[in-house]
Amino acid sequence: MTAEIELKLAIDPDAVAATIAAIRRHPAVAALKRGRWHRAQVTSTYFDTPDWQLADAGLALRLRRYGTRWLQTVKGPPLADAGGGLHARAEYEWPVAGPQLDVARLATTPWRRLLGQAIAGDLLAPRFTTDFERRTAALAFADGTHAQLCVDTGEIRIEDRQHPARKARPTRAVIAEIEIELETGSAARLYELALAFTRDLPLAVATANKAERGCALAEGRPDGWHVPLRAHPVPLEPEAAATDALREIALECLQQIAANATGLLADNDPEWVHQMRIGTRRLRSCLALAARYLPPETIDPLVAELQWLAGILGAARDWDVFATETVPPFAAHFAADPALGADVRRLRARIARQRSAARADARAAVRAPRFQQLVLGVGALCSAPLREAAAIAGVPAGKDVPKVKAFAGKLLERRHRRLVQRAATCAPGTPEERHALRIAAKKLRYAAEFFAPVLQRKRGRAYVQALASLQDVLGRGNDAVTAARLATLVARGDGDRAAAALRGWVTAQGAATVPLLAPTWTHFARTRRFWTGD
């Protein structure tokens, strides 16, 4: 067994030949390459059960012909270091005589039970094929790190068209990507090379590997997107250093951002923007906690870029909520009004255009080199324990790093008290004061969700639910303020009756949430703090 660690970049399909030529003569490659480029034709057949049991477990089983050799490979689920374009998996690989599975080898892996059940039930069958040309160059870095630079061009094919639903779906997808695979040394070097590439070439961070893209194609998703990726709890060891825990949390936040970017480009579901925006906010919160262990010149540029991204996603999200949640009940209420009906329809058309423009801005941002650099920059920061990054950056070694459990308890207590203090001066307060209370609640909720796994998980769920209810009430009030602002933006002068009616409508909706604040706060205040241990 080995650990496969590689960083993947997707090549713009419209610029494949030019990009490959540019990579071959790129100064970074010229400085690192050892020996000649090599070419080989690589054909791989991936096996799974009819209901994709292996893929659901995060496994990939393939037979690969590499030139004249045959290799059988099993890859496991992503390892803890995966994220931000870095793919890390346990890999079992054996040379085999020909294009037949050696089932005896599968019994030597940690997934022998699942694989054995599939074999015993005669369920394993070819599901898709990848066929591509691979150009490979050996790289040697100054610190002793060695890697392989692979440029793959070809296609993924779905062969099975027996099911009627398959006939209406795509059966091929383009492969055009770069893999920088670590052989020995530090994964930080992979990020440095990828950053150099994305500064000069039309490349994008690739969050899906060939196996995942093949499964997606078989399910009618040729771009690899599935459903919006929500935040997931990160399993943390209570005795781990706080810096190690923050690194793992940051990687999970980064994955939420990068994975939702693919869906944002391919689909119109507003949830892609929503979840990507949440990931951006969570990552900003995590990096703010890590900032105490890193110098400003390391962390501040990343935080500034996250603020840029959050602003663009925030605008798109505001228009999504306005167009899909705020305006429809208002329009339904006035649909039969002869004086306003036509004006409301014209207002909705203007709102739809603004929403489309904001979505286009978000997509342009995700396609931009700036976004790729941000994802790779955060990935590079997390490519080694933050304590090592701090030492390299010159942070004094005497700065103590607490265990994550102690760190989390103090942080949560501090943020809880800050929220209580804000609430004491906000009863019910102005919209600005309620907004500040909402921000404090959000920061507390992110911290609670980050660290609940190392504290009392069951009590943590109750606390987070009570905090979420408080956020919801405050959020609905803030949505009303935002909606009034957007209604003003789309108004055609002071005489726009529909826009004026909409402002009045949302102002009334926001006012209706104020009486809900006191009982919601009371419920939250009575909920036990899960980090105290009493």
Q: Are residues 87 and 215 in the same domain?
A: yes
> What one-character DSSP code corresponds to residue 83?
B
Greatest distance between any 2 Cα atoms in the chain: 80
Percent of the chain surpassing pLDDT 90? 80
Structural domain includes residue 234: no
Structural domain span for residue 273? 239-397
Residues 422-463 have pLDDT tens digits of 998 877 778 899 999 999 999 999 999 999 989 877 778 999
Task: pLDDT band for 224, please (50, 70, 90 cuts).
Answer: low
Structural domain includes residue 203: yes
Structural domain includes residue 95: yes
Residues 451-508 have pLDDT tens digits of 998 987 777 899 999 999 999 999 999 999 999 999 999 999 888 999 999 999 999 9
Q: Are residues 255 and 220 in the same domain?
A: no
Q: Which of 211, 191, 218, 207 is nearest to 51 (CA)?
A: 218
Residues 289-320 have pLDDT tens digits of 999 888 899 999 999 999 999 999 999 999 99
Number of domains in the chain: 3
Strand, helix or coil at 318?
helix
Whether 34 has a pLDDT exceeding 60, the answer reads: yes
Structural domain includes residue 232: no
Residues 332-352 have pLDDT tens digits of 988 888 888 889 999 999 999
> What one-character DSSP code corresponds to residue 241?
B
Q: Count CB neighbours of 491 within 10 A.
A: 18
Tokens of 242: 């706080």
Task: pLDDT band for 389, please (50, 70, 90 cuts).
Answer: very low
Q: Which of 262, 260, 366, 362 is nearest to 320 (CA)?
A: 362
Cis peptide before 428 (omega within 30 of 0): yes
| Alpha-carbon distances of 54 from 59, 378, 445, rounded to whole Å | 5, 31, 35
Percent of the chain surpassing pLDDT 70? 94
Which CATH number goes with the domain that contains 502?
A: 1.40.20.10
- Kindly give the pairing relationship between strand 125-140 and strand 172-184: unpaired
Would the CA dihedral through 104, 110, 114, 117 be positive or negative?
positive
Q: Are residues 509 and 423 in the same domain?
A: yes
Task: pLDDT band for 87, please (50, 70, 90 cuts).
Answer: very high
Residues 349-385 have pLDDT tens digits of 999 999 999 999 999 999 999 999 999 999 999 987 6
Q: Are residues 302 and 217 in the same domain?
A: no
Which CATH number goes with the domain that contains 78?
A: 2.40.320.10
Residue 165 CA to residue 168 CA, distance in Å, equals 6
The pLDDT value recorded for residue 426 is 78
Bridge partners, 10 (sequence order): 177, 204
Residue 493 CA to residue 295 CA, distance in Å, equals 49
Q: Are residues 98 and 247 in the same domain?
A: no
CB 284 within 8 A of CB 299: no
Residues 227-236 have pLDDT tens digits of 899 999 998 9
Q: Which of 85, 288, 309 is nearest to 187 (CA)?
A: 85
- Which of 179, 196, 224 is at the close of a domain? 224
Residues 93-105 have pLDDT tens digits of 999 998 899 999 9
Residues 506-519 have pLDDT tens digits of 999 999 999 999 99
Q: Are residues 138 and 163 in the same domain?
A: yes
Strand, helix or coil at 35?
strand
Q: Are residues 48 and 145 in the same domain?
A: yes
Q: Which of 443, 430, 515 is nearest to 478 (CA)?
A: 430
Q: In the 3-class helix/strand/coil scheme, how is 376-426 assigned residue by residue? A: HHHHHHCCCCHHHHHHHHCCCCCCCCCEHHHHHHHHHHHHHHHHHHHHHCC
Q: Are residues 17 and 153 in the same domain?
A: yes
Structural domain includes residue 124: yes
Task: pLDDT band for 392, please (50, 70, 90 cuts).
Answer: very low
Q: Are residues 213 and 253 in the same domain?
A: no
- Which of 357, 380, 397 is at the close of a domain? 397
Mean pLDDT for all residues in the chain: 91
Structural domain includes residue 141: yes
Whether 29 has a pLDDT exceeding 80, the answer reads: yes
Bridge partners, 88 (sequence order): 5
Residue 530 CA to residue 534 CA, distance in Å, equals 8
Would the CA dihedral through 234, 235, 238, 244 be positive or negative?
negative
Residues 273-285 have pLDDT tens digits of 999 999 999 999 9
User: What's the number of CA atoms in the CB half-sphere (13 Å) around residue 89?
Assistant: 22
Structural domain includes residue 274: yes
Q: Are residues 145 and 14 in the same domain?
A: yes
The pLDDT value recorded for residue 396 is 45
Produce one character per residue of 427-449: b if its CB has 16 or more CB atoms within 10 Å, e if not: ebbeeeebbbbbebbbbbbbbbb
Strand, helix or coil at 515?
helix
Q: Are residues 505 and 474 in the same domain?
A: yes
Q: Count CB neighbours of 382 within 10 A.
A: 26
pTM over 0.95: no
Residues 227-268 have pLDDT tens digits of 899 999 998 998 999 999 999 999 999 999 999 998 999 899
Would the CA dihedral through 203, 208, 209, 211 be positive or negative?
negative
- Which of 379, 397, 415 is at the close of a domain? 397
Structural domain includes residue 230: no
Tokens of 66: 């590499």
Q: Which residues lie below 8 Å from residue 415, measured CB to CB, with a gap of 6+?
A: 440, 443, 444, 447
Selected residue with higher pLDDT from 380 and 169: 380
The pLDDT value recorded for residue 398 is 42
Mean pLDDT to the nearest integer, 71-87: 90
Q: Are residues 311 and 387 in the same domain?
A: yes
Q: E strand or H helix at 140, and its extent?
A: strand 125-140
In this structure, what are the phi and psi dihedrals at residue 244, rounded to the nearest 5 degrees? -65, -40
The pLDDT value recorded for residue 162 is 46
